[in-house]
């Protein structure tokens, strides 16, 4: 087996290393060899911008899905239908699950009825409610 | 745990975004030209109509398109350079660029092999000495005292620029310029070593 990092390879690496050279010097050397550095830089900028946006979007989506799949005291809200969530709200409003929840639901319903909320809004609201201190016991 | 991972992903993404990608593009293109020259470019065209700037760009493009290509254990530039070098090997070996990951556990950065037999160590030294001799016999080097000084310093194992400045008495800017000249000569030296039947790949 050929040993790794022979002296010749070290020489190659040393010759190839221009870490202290300015970008302008490197660009001048590349242009002398017919390399279109302007086009390359423009392509790389576009790729980085696009790649960054895509990766950021993926992270945000992952975080959202992580939150909605997190089971709380009302169960796994991600799997509940809109109807099931509305039934749950009615239970909370009736006080069956404690006065704290009842007050929170009544206060919330002064501004908007649960039936007017979208499925996502309902789920988010129930997630927030699930974080309230439990006074039902 | 997933929350921690996501947080790390965000931090890593921000770290990558903040890098100077103009600078990286230029340095990687410079490295790519060097790799191309070792394969005989520009005398020998690259397969599939590729250019050295394509080879640099392909790696940056794949880096941003794929998942989990960055390993914070190693310097970013080192990982990108290794990917370019690997793509060149694949390009010439298979005449098609294989998709490669940027870091493989079985492909760690170069480290000195501590377990050489005396024969292997002698072979490495001979290969290196032949390269230094070939440099010293090159017409361009023979015409330049400064180039001879730098090649001799390399032959004595002075790799760092500070050492070269001390050993040759030349200014650091001159050393950079001479390194560039030696870099341009090197592909012909490598070709000569190959023709002489050395162990050079």
% of chain A beyond a pLDDT of 90: 20
In this structure, the number of other CB atoms found within 10 A of the CB of residue B145 comes to 10
pTM metric for this prediction: 0.65
Mean pLDDT to the nearest integer, B25-46: 90
Give contacts of B61 with chain A, Cβ < 8 Å: 47
Q: What is the pLDDT of residue A115?
A: 87
In this structure, the number of other CB atoms found within 10 A of the CB of residue B38 comes to 17
Q: Quick check: A35 and B33 CB within 8 A?
A: yes
Give contacts of A34 with chain B, Cβ < 8 Å: 42
Q: What is the pLDDT of residue B84?
A: 92
Q: What is the pLDDT of residue B101?
A: 44
What ipTM score was computed for the predicted complex, to two decimals? 0.72
Express each pLDDT in A18-47 by its tens digit: 777 888 989 999 999 999 999 999 999 999
Express each pLDDT in A49-75 by its tens digit: 999 999 888 888 877 766 666 667 777
Q: What is the pLDDT of residue A66?
A: 67
Q: Does residue A127 register a pLDDT over 50?
A: yes
Confidence of residue B57 (pLDDT cuts 50, 70, 90): very high
Interface of A with B in 62-81 (CB under 8 A): 62-63, 66
Q: What is each CA distance from B184 to B34, B51, B90, B181, B192, in whole angstroms? A: 8, 18, 24, 5, 14
Interface of A with B in 7-36 (CB under 8 A): 7-16, 18, 20-21, 23, 25-27, 29-30, 33-36
Q: Quick check: A23 and B180 CB within 8 A?
A: no
Q: What is the pLDDT of residue B104?
A: 43
Question: To 10 degrees, what angle do helices B21-38 and A37-69 make?
Answer: 120
Q: What is the pLDDT of residue A5?
A: 57
Q: Does residue B171 register a pLDDT over 90?
A: yes
Of A48, A60, A38, whose CA–CA distance to B62 is shortest? Answer: A48
Size of interface A-B (CB pairs under 8 A): 130
Let me know: does B34 contact A16? Beta carbons within 8 Å. yes
Let me know: does B91 contact B97? Beta carbons within 8 Å. yes
Express each pLDDT in B104-130 by its tens digit: 434 444 444 556 677 777 777 888 889
Interface of B with A in 76-135 (CB under 8 A): 110-113, 116, 120, 124-125, 127-128, 131
Q: Does residue B40 register a pLDDT over 70?
A: yes
Question: Is the Cβ of A56 closer than 8 Å to some Cβ of chain B?
Answer: yes
Burial of A10 (0-12, 13-18, 19+ CB in 10 A): middle
In this structure, the number of other CB atoms found within 10 A of the CB of residue A24 comes to 9
Confidence of residue B199 (pLDDT cuts 50, 70, 90): very low
Q: What is the pLDDT of residue A137?
A: 45
């Amino acid at each position: 087996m050929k040993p790794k990092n022979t002296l010749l390879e070290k020489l190659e690496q040393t010759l190839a290393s221009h870490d202290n050279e300015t970008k302008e010097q490197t660009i001048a050397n590349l242009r002398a060899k017919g390399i279109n550095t302007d086009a390359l830089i423009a392509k790389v900028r576009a790729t980085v911008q696009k790649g960054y946006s895509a990766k950021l979007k993926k992270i945000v989506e992952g975080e959202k899905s992580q939150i909605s799949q997190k089971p709380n005291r009302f169960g796994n809200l991600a799997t509940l239908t809109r109807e099931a969530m509305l039934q749950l709200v009615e239970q909370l409003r009736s006080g069956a699950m404690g006065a704290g929840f009842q007050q929170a639901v009544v206060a919330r319903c002064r501004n908007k009825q649960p039936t007017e909320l979208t499925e996502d809004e309902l789920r988010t609201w129930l997630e927030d409610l699930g974080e309230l201190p439990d006074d039902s016991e | 745990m997933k929350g921690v991972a996501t947080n790390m992903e965000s931090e890593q993404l921000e770290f990558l975004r903040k890098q100077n990608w103009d600078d990286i593009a230029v340095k990687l293109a410079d490295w790519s030209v060097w790799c191309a020259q070792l394969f005989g470019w520009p005398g020998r065209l690259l397969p599939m109509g590729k250019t050295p700037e394509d080879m640099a760009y392909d790696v940056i493009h794949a880096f941003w398109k794929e998942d989990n290509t960055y390993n914070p254990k190693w310097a970013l530039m080192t990982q990108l350079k290794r990917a370019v070098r690997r793509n060149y090997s694949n390009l010439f070996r298979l005449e098609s660029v294989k998709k490669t990951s940027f870091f493989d556990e079985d492909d760690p950065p170069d480290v000195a092999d501590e377990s050489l037999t005396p024969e292997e160590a002698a072979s490495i030294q001979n290969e290196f000495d032949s390269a230094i001799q070939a440099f010293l016999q090159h017409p361009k080097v023979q015409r330049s005292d400064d180039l001879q000084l730098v090649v001799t310093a390399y032959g004595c194992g002075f790799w760092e620029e500070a050492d070269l400045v001390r050993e040759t008495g030349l200014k650091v800017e001159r050393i950079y310029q001479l390194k560039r000249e030696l870099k341009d000569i090197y592909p012909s030296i490598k070709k000569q070593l190959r023709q002489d039947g050395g162990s050079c790949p």
